[in-house]
Amino acid sequence: MALAILAVGCGDEDSPSGKHQVTAVIQIHPTESKFFPTTEKFIANEIASLSLGVNLTAAASRYIWKSKDINWDNVPKNLVVTRISGTDMASITLHSDDPNQAKNIIEALIESYLVTRKKNEEDRAKKALDALDAESTELEDLVDDYRKDLIVLIQQYGIPYFDGGTAGNHLGVSEKAIFQSARAKLADLETELAL
């Protein structure tokens, strides 16, 4: 979970945008704390995304109340999302004439944010897995190509004998060097044959 809702409170403070003020205090959590530590930038980005139009639109589409109940066009004017200084907590405050309506809107925003964040993280994880799968397939293909080339070379020249080069065997080198040398010889022979 990205957020932990610590409290939802309702005050009777008058404000120019509504008679009541509803506040939710939330704590920002990274998805996997071992890999994504809670940094200042991470917290700032998460808090900013709570009040973005994308989140408001998603909340409005997910939680459809009668149009007379909630006017989503007025929500951004009455919504204040602030970080509680020195903590990883944020305060979401909404001013409204109806405290229940404001509470429903804040809950819809938080739930919408959680759903959106979970989907984004699943998409990122899926892309990472797809990239790893593609790389694995590419490496498997490369190994198969080298194996086929090695089989051809073994059929043509036999299995190389390694004695460490002490008995005058110039092949006492790494398999990679032998393979490259054999490929070069094969290329030379093919060039001579083509002439």
Q: Which residue type occupies 146?
A: Y
Strand ranges (DSSP E) for the chain? 3-11, 20-28, 79-83, 89-96
Task: Give the per-residue pLDDT at 180.
Answer: 84
11 in Cβ contact with 30 (< 8 Å): no
**Domain ranges within the chain, ordered by starting residue:** 3-122, 131-194
Token pair 């990883």 in the structure block, residue: 88
Task: Give the per-residue pLDDT at 4.
Answer: 47
Burial 86-125 (b: 16+ CB within 10 A, else e): eebbbbbbbbbeebebbbbbbbbbbbbbeebbeeeeeeee
99-157 vs 40-50: helix axis angle to the nearest 10?
130
pTM recorded for the entire structure: 0.59
Task: Give the per-residue pLDDT at 44.
Answer: 81
Task: Give the per-residue pLDDT at 139.
Answer: 95
Consecutive 10-residue runs of the chain (195 residues): their mean pLDDT? 48 57 80 66 81 77 60 78 84 83 83 84 90 95 93 81 54 68 90 84
Task: Give the per-residue pLDDT at 102.
Answer: 80
Cross-strand pairs, 23: 9, 93
CATH topology of domain 3-122: Alpha-Beta Plaits (3.30.70)
Task: Give the per-residue pLDDT at 133.
Answer: 96
Task: Give the per-residue pLDDT at 2.
Answer: 44
